[in-house]
Amino acid sequence: MNFNHLPKRVRLVDVGPRDGLQNEKQPVPTAVKVELVQRLQDAGLTEIEVTSFVSPKWVPQMGDNAQVMAAIGRKPGVRYSVLTPNLKGFEAAVAAPRAFWPDEIVVFGAASEAFSQKNINCSIAESIARFAPVVDAARAAGIFVRGAMSCALGCPYEGDIAPERVAMLAALMKGIGVQHVGVADTIGVGTPIKVQRALEATLQHYGINDVSGHFHDTYGQALANTLIALQMGVWQFDTSVAGLGGCPYAKGATGNVATEDVVYLLHGMGIETGIDLDKLVDAGQFISDFLQRKPHSRAATALLNKRAA
C-alpha cells in the first residue's frame, strides 16, 4: 500500500442514532436518543444521522422524530441529517420551525431489483421516481441531499451485485439531483476487491469528494473494506457508535461497523478525524448500558478493559 496517497483527514457520519437504533425492539426514550446525539457531538462528530421521518406504523422506534430534532442542542459546525423516504416524510421533517430542520436529508435506493421490491415494494425505477420530488423540494429549501445505495456489494435475494448495477443506480441518483452517494454493503458480504469495483462504478458518475463508504461487519470485513476505500482516496464513511445496528439477513451477526474501531484504525494511521476516542467510547458505553449489552466494538472493549485494569 502506498501510504502517501491516503487522505490526511477523514469525515465520519455516525448513523447510530438512526440506522443503529431503528431495529432495536425495546423502546428507546427520546431523552436517551438526545443524550446520545449530545455525547457524539461532544466527542467531536460533526456529521450525525439523527432520526428518520417514516410512518411509526413501520418503524415505531422513530415515532418521536420531531421531538428528537427539537430537543437536540445543536452545535455550530455539526450537520444533522434525517432519512426521508418519500415526500410525506420530507414535509414532516420541515413542518417545524426552521431552527429544527435537518441540515441534510437521506434518500435510499437499492442496486438490487429484488431487494427494492421486498424492502420498499417497488422497482428501482419507481423508487427513483418517488425520490425525485423529495430531492427537488430539499434542494429548493437549501437542504443538502445524500443518497444511500443499498446492497451495492451483495443482496440476500440475488447474491453478488454486478458493478454495472451500481453504476446504473449512481447515474439514476445523479439524474434526480442527489449531491452525494454512499456505497453501502447493507448485508456485510463485501470484500476489498468487490468494494474497489463498486467504488470505481460509482466514480463514473460522482467525484471522489461526493462518494462515501457504508460498510457492515457481518463477516468481519468492514475495516479491510474501509482500508481499500481509503487507498482509492475515499475520505468519508458512515459508522455507528458501539456497532449499533444488526443485520436482519444474518441472524446474530453484527451490523454497522463500530465508529470506535474505525477511529482507532484511522488514528493509528496518522489520519485526522477530529474525534476524541475516549469520549466516543464513553458515548458507546452510555447507549450500550441502556440497551443492557456490551458495545459491539473491539476497540471500545479493549479500551474499557484497559481502564478497568
Find the mean pLDDT for residues 153-182.
96
d(CA 7, CA 146): 21
**pLDDT above 80 for 246:** no
The pLDDT-based confidence of 252 (bands split at 50, 70, 90) is low
d(CA 102, CA 133): 17
Cβ atoms of 111 and 169 within 8 Å: the answer is yes
pLDDT digits (tens, 9 = 90+) for 190-239: 999 999 999 999 999 999 999 999 999 999 999 999 999 999 999 999 99
Cβ atoms of 19 and 52 within 8 Å: the answer is no
**What is residue 250's predicted lDDT score, i.e. its pLDDT?**
57
Q: What b/e string do you get for 135-148 counting C-beta neighbours within 10 Å, with b at 16 or more?
A: bebbeeeebbbbbb
Cβ atoms of 239 and 264 within 8 Å: the answer is no
Q: In terms of Cα–Cα distance, which of 241, 214, 292 is closest to 39?
A: 241
54 dihedral zone (left: phi>0; alpha: psi -120 to 50; beta): beta
Report, in angstroms and rounded to the nearest whole number, the Rg of the chain calculated over CA atoms: 18
Question: Where do runs of H (alpha helix) occur along the chain?
Answer: 30-42, 65-71, 87-93, 113-120, 124-140, 163-175, 192-202, 222-231, 259-268, 277-291, 298-308
d(CA 85, CA 55): 10
Cell of 70: 427539537
d(CA 138, CA 176): 12
CA distances from 43 to 30, 239, 273, 277, 278 (A): 20, 14, 11, 7, 8
Q: In terms of Cα–Cα distance, which of 163, 149, 221 is closest to 192?
A: 221
**What is residue 220's predicted lDDT score, i.e. its pLDDT?**
95
Longest dimension (CA), the chain: 56
**pLDDT above 60 for 103:** yes
The pLDDT-based confidence of 28 (bands split at 50, 70, 90) is very high
**What is residue 58's predicted lDDT score, i.e. its pLDDT?**
87
**What is residue 306's predicted lDDT score, i.e. its pLDDT?**
96
- The chain-wide mean pLDDT, for the chain, equals 95
**What is residue 254's predicted lDDT score, i.e. its pLDDT?**
72
CA distances from 294 to 25, 214, 220, 279 (A): 17, 23, 18, 17
d(CA 188, CA 214): 10
**What is residue 109's predicted lDDT score, i.e. its pLDDT?**
92
Q: Which of 37-51, 154-168, 246-260, 266-280 has the lowest mean pLDDT?
A: 246-260
pLDDT digits (tens, 9 = 90+) for 113-143: 988 888 778 899 999 999 999 999 999 999 9
Q: Which DSSP string corresponds to 23-42? A: T-SS---HHHHHHHHHHHHH
Find the mean pLDDT for residues 168-179.
98
**What is residue 296's predicted lDDT score, i.e. its pLDDT?**
94
Find the mean pLDDT for residues 101-112.
95
**What is residue 97's predicted lDDT score, i.e. its pLDDT?**
97
d(CA 295, CA 145): 31
**pLDDT above 90 for 170:** yes
The pLDDT-based confidence of 84 (bands split at 50, 70, 90) is very high
* Catalytic (active-site) positions: 247
**pLDDT above 70 for 36:** yes
Cβ atoms of 24 and 291 within 8 Å: the answer is yes
